[in-house]
């Protein structure tokens, strides 16, 4: 069975459809919960599936350090190891090397760095990044790229981009052919339209199964992010999945879907769930707030997750205050449910040709938040 993206409906620039993989279908636009270290934090895998997630993201950087890609392979691969039998996308580790490790040294060959866990030295090249993802058994494997910190000069961005494109070519060659699995390129270029367009062009010359937009949601703000998407997406092929990495807040996702993005990942729902923050259609709530202490109502009366069906805001407030693990479990579950419900709403709206109206209603009720820094939350 081959990897294939069937687009069943469009609405403006937005698209909905299904990505077919040997591990099952992915309904797009899709949100991928982050399963950093072979677990979506505070969730059992069947619970993640119950929220409607079709695909998880795994982190090459974390898994190469612990438990190690060769070990996961000996244990039967990542799907079996973490008991998630559906599709898995793995990043290449590039972003985490930049944000988590120390003593990084980038050369043409790759990046040498020290583990943030125990300080031991590791080396990641495009070839090793792809080998790790193959060992993990990932369905969608990402090229190794360099992620420049923003703001950066155009010259620095251009130099970094050139390296990322050379690494993309080596990654694609290293990926080779893997039946049913996909290799995605990553468009870089900061917020400079001509660099993004050049990157999109060069990646297509190499040829990938899907195209990601990297290096956004790192502090540039939502306006700049959307402008970059507007400048980039018309230069990507219509028939391949488009993945906006590390994004984001619900209103980021709505805006990006309107512009034609098919896939997202972000730690926000899971990390927020461990920090007492809940997403609702009326915006975010902090369950630490004393106003919830005697609120017998559910977090969200329309939500069907166990957190909302079985417990009151007062209970969530109490367990948050008491530092109980169940608070993280319940709020994570709810937040993932909210994100999946949002994606289902977006898919339905596109299928019915009513995305603009859906987006307007969403924004009117949810509100629009100011900053777009979701990708800086690395789990």
Q: How many CB atoms lie within 10 A of CB 318?
A: 16
Nearer to its own copies, 239 or 294 (CB): 294
Stretch that binds its own copies, among 31-39, 139-147, 223-231, 347-355 (CB under 8 A): 31-39
Regarding 277 and contact with its own copies (CB under 8 A), the answer is no
Could you tell me how many helices (H) and strands (E) the chain has, helices first? 15, 16
Q: Are 72 and 81 in contact (CB under 8 A)?
A: yes
Regarding 329 and contact with its own copies (CB under 8 A), the answer is yes
Peptide bond into 197 cis (omega under 30): no
* Dihedral over Cα of 71, 77, 83, 88: its sign: positive
Regarding 311 and contact with its own copies (CB under 8 A), the answer is yes
Smallest separation (angstroms) from its own copies to the CB of 290: 11
**Interface pick for its own copies out of 24, 76, 119, 237 (rule CB under 8 A):** 76
Report d(CA 283, CA 303) in Å as an integer.
14
Smallest separation (angstroms) from its own copies to the CB of 331: 12
Q: Are 250 and 366 in contact (CB under 8 A)?
A: yes
Smallest separation (angstroms) from its own copies to the CB of 299: 14
Regarding 282 and contact with its own copies (CB under 8 A), the answer is no
Smallest separation (angstroms) from its own copies to the CB of 113: 19
Nearer to its own copies, 308 or 346 (CB): 308
Six token digits for residue 36: 């950093």
Regarding 318 and contact with its own copies (CB under 8 A), the answer is yes
Nearer to its own copies, 59 or 191 (CB): 59
Q: Which residues are catalytic?
A: 91, 265
Regarding 37 and contact with its own copies (CB under 8 A), the answer is yes
Smallest separation (angstroms) from its own copies to the CB of 148: 29
Regarding 166 and contact with its own copies (CB under 8 A), the answer is no
Stretch that binds its own copies, among 160-168, 228-236, 317-325, 341-349 (CB under 8 A): 317-325
Cα-trace Rg, the chain: 20
Local structure of residue 144 (DSSP, 8 states): P
Regarding 56 and contact with its own copies (CB under 8 A), the answer is no
Regarding 293 and contact with its own copies (CB under 8 A), the answer is yes
Six token digits for residue 327: 């608070």
Residue with tokens 């982050």: 34
Report d(CA 308, CA 302) in Å as an integer.
8
Q: Are 52 and 344 in contact (CB under 8 A)?
A: yes
Q: Give, in order, the Cα–Cα distances in Å from 165 to each of 59, 98, 168, 186, 258.
A: 21, 17, 5, 9, 28
As a dihedral over the C-alpha atoms of residue 138, residue 143, residue 149, residue 153, rounded to 10 degrees, the angle is -160
Number of residues that bind its own copies (CB under 8 A): 39
Regarding 326 and contact with its own copies (CB under 8 A), the answer is yes
User: Where does this chain bind its own copies (CB under 8 A)?
Assistant: 37-39, 41-46, 66-67, 71, 74-76, 81-83, 274, 293-294, 296, 306, 310-312, 314-315, 317-319, 321-322, 324-326, 328-330
């Amino acid at each position: 069975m081959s990897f294939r993206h069937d687009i069943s409906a469009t609405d403006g620039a937005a698209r909905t459809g299904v990505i077919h993989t040997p591990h099952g279908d992915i309904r797009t636009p899709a949100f991928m919960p982050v399963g950093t270290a072979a677990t979506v934090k505070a969730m059992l895998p069947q619970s993640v599936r119950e929220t409607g997630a079709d695909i998880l993201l795994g982190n090459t950087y974390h898994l190469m350090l612990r438990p190690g890609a060769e070990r996961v392979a000996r244990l039967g691969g990542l799907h079996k190891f973490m008991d998630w039998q559906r599709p898995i996308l793995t990043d290449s580790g590039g972003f985490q090397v930049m944000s988590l490790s120390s003593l990084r040294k980038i050369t043409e060959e790759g990046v040498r760095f020290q583990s943030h866990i125990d300080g031991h030295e590791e080396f990641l090249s495009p070839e090793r990044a792809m080998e790790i993802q193959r060992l993990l058994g990932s369905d969608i494997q990402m090229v190794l790229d360099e992620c420049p910190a923003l703001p950066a000069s155009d010259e620095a961005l251009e130099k970094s981009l050139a390296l990322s494109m050379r690494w993309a070519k080596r990654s694609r060659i290293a990926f080779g052919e893997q039946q049913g699995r996909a290799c995605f390129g990553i468009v870089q270029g900061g917020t400079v339209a001509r660099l993004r367009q050049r990157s999109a062009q060069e990646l297509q010359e190499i040829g990938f199964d899907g195209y990601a937009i990297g290096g956004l949601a790192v502090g540039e703000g939502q306006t700049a992010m959307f402008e970059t998407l507007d400048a980039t997406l018309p230069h990507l092929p219509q028939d391949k999945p488009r993945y906006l990495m590390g994004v984001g807040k619900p209103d980021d996702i709505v805006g990006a879907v309107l512009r034609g993005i098919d896939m997202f990942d972000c730690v926000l729902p899971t990390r927020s769930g461990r920090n007492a923050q809940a997403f609702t259609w009326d915006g975010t709530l902090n369950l630490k707030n004393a106003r919830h202490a005697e609120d017998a109502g559910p977090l969200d009366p329309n939500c069907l997750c166990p957190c909302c069906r079985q417990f009151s805001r007062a209970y969530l407030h109490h367990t948050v205050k008491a530092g109980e693990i169940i608070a993280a479990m319940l709020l994570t579950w709810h937040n993932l449910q909210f994100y999946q419900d949002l994606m289902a709403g977006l898919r339905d709206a596109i299928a019915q040709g009513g995305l603009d109206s859906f987006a307007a209603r969403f924004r009117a009720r949810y509100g629009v938040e100011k900053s777009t820094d979701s990708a800086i939350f690395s789990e």
